[in-house]
Amino acid sequence: MSKLVRGFRDIFEPQSKNFTELENCARGVFSLYGFGELRLPTVELKELFIKSTGETTDIVQKEMYAFEDAGHRQLAIRPEGTPGVVRAYLENNFTQNAPVQKFYYIGNMFRAERPQAGRYREFEQIGAEYIGNSAPAADAEVILMLKDIVAKFGAKNYKVKINSLGCDKCRPLYRQELIDFLSAEKDTLCENCQTRLEKNPLRVLDCKIDGSRFAGRVPTMKLCPECQAHFDEVQALLKGKIDFEVDPMLVRGLDYYSRTVFEFQAGDASQNAIAAGGRYDTLVKHMGGPATPAIGWAMGAERVIMARGETVPAKQKSVYVVSLDKTCNETAFNLMQTLRHAGIRTEGGLFDKNVKGQMKQSDRCGASYALILGEDELAKQAVTLKDLTTGEQKQIPFEALTDEVKKLV
């Protein structure tokens, strides 16, 4: 028998309904904020992620599913959505015609990580990208939009952390300061961080092993006046609308962030981020377009569902159609279609089984009523309706059936 691949999952009802519910919440909020859906391909050129996500990131170095196709193209199954959004934005000339764009996407992402609770190799992200607005209002808007989705879905116990990573003017100074500070402790750093120290010291603060022990004693970034003013205004716009905390340790794991970064966290586990994002004012230019500011976030659907707790939505009541004889099968089948088209959840059709088998199935699918059709009923142009809770039954003429059933389910 074939087996599921490690880190991948089958998600059945009712669990799958949690995803639909979250997606519907998100779509409703996106529409209020004027964000339009962008459906992206699952496969892109591998170089897209190397160039945008960043060569030295964990995603590109360790987690990407990359392969060569029959045409010798180097491809990757998307590990995240932002690079594809920016590629689509540039490739379709939005820069020329309509540079300010608000996109959202809903889709599965793929990362070869060690599977554990809240960390899968295929998982769903819901993401938003606001391109072409450098104003602090854009930062505040996407953060509050994220909060609205999470709140509407019903997740409660989470913290919001924000920080500013500055720009190309203020970050290099901090980078050096950080290298000096961390070098003194180089021997105690994990293997990964020893390499990060030279290439990308900020990422040491994001390390799942070493990161937290520097809290409170690591030097913090001094923002240039422009970045400080931007950060101050973002905070002013958020005040009173969302509880948040400024965390100088929040640096995020991707290469392209600048200025505002933020995370929504639930719980203390290392996979506690339910959603995360930030500004990426240099990415569009870096990918070959004109200098264009942008900000966005991605939410992990599984983690938001975990943070709220899975709920089992009430099942819609249904009827189950039983045929007692071969001669009744066609009428019974047509009846099922009539009921469905009248908006009644209808199951049945297991006509190769005897009555006992069909009634057993009606129980298994949790139907509230059985509609039984035999030769006797057919002759009278009626159906026997059996209440599966009380066992009571009565005959109903065909022409009154949909109206009668509608009153019950």
Which residue ranges make up the annotated binding site for L-histidine? 80-82, 111, 125, 129, 252, 256-257
Q: Which residue lies nearer to ligand ATP by CB, 78 or 171?
A: 78
Among 273, 322, 339, 370, binds ligand ATP (CB under 6 A): 273
The nearest distance, CB 87 to ligand ATP, in angstroms, is 17
Among 29, 150, 274, 359, binds ligand ATP (CB under 6 A): 274
Please tell me the number of Cα atoms within 13 Å of 301 on its side-chain side: 24
Contacts of 314 (CB under 8 A, 6+ apart): none
Q: Helix, strand, or coil here: 194?
A: helix
Among left, alpha and beta (phi > 0; psi -120 to 50; other), residue 381 is left
Q: Which residue lies nearer to ligand ATP by CB, 158 or 369?
A: 158
Q: Which residue lies nearer to ligand ATP by CB, 275 or 372?
A: 275
Contacts of 339 (CB under 8 A, 6+ apart): 319, 321, 346, 371, 401, 402, 405
DSSP state of 230: H
Q: Which stretch binds ligand ATP (CB under 6 A): 23-31, 140-148, 268-276, 396-404?
A: 268-276
- Under rule CB under 6 A, residue 175 binds ligand ATP: no
Count of residues interacting with ligand ATP (CB under 6 A):
18
Q: Helix, strand, or coil here: 358?
A: helix
Restricted to residues 86-115, the positions that interact with ligand ATP (CB under 6 A) are 111, 113
DSSP state of 327: G
Among 27, 119, 152, 317, binds ligand ATP (CB under 6 A): 119
Which residue in 11, 23, 21, 49 sits closest to 314, CA to CA? 21
- Measure the N-to-C terminal CA separation of the chain; round to a whole number of Å: 40
The first and second tokens of residue 272, run together, are 């506690």
The nearest distance, CB 368 to ligand ATP, in angstroms, is 38
Whole-angstrom Cα distance, residue 147 to residue 30? Answer: 12
Helix residue spans in 297-368 (DSSP H):
301-308, 329-341, 355-364
Contacts of 102 (CB under 8 A, 6+ apart): 33, 34, 35, 36, 128, 129, 130, 131
Q: Which residue lies nearer to ligand ATP by CB, 8 or 316?
A: 8
Nearest position to ligand ATP, beta carbon: 300
The nearest distance, CB 59 to ligand ATP, in angstroms, is 6
Q: Which residue lies nearer to ligand ATP by CB, 46 or 121?
A: 121
Among 44, 80, 148, 255, binds ligand ATP (CB under 6 A): 80
- Under rule CB under 6 A, residue 81 binds ligand ATP: no
Among 258, 271, 282, 384, binds ligand ATP (CB under 6 A): 271
- Under rule CB under 6 A, residue 52 binds ligand ATP: no
| Cα Rg of the chain, angstroms | 28
Q: Helix, strand, or coil here: 74?
A: strand
DSSP state of 164: E
- Under rule CB under 6 A, residue 298 binds ligand ATP: yes
Q: Which runs of E-coded beta strand occur in 132-289?
A: 159-164, 245-246, 258-265, 273-279
The nearest distance, CB 177 to ligand ATP, in angstroms, is 24
The nearest distance, CB 181 to ligand ATP, in angstroms, is 23
The first and second tokens of residue 53, run together, are 């996500």
The nearest distance, CB 296 to ligand ATP, in angstroms, is 10
Restricted to residues 208-267, the positions that interact with ligand ATP (CB under 6 A) are 253
The nearest distance, CB 385 to ligand ATP, in angstroms, is 47
Among 255, 302, 347, 377, binds ligand ATP (CB under 6 A): 302
Whole-angstrom Cα distance, residue 338 to residue 184? Answer: 77
- Under rule CB under 6 A, residue 276 binds ligand ATP: yes
**Residue ranges that bind ligand ATP, judged by CB under 6 A:** 80, 111, 113, 118-120, 123, 125, 253, 271, 273-276, 298, 300, 302-303
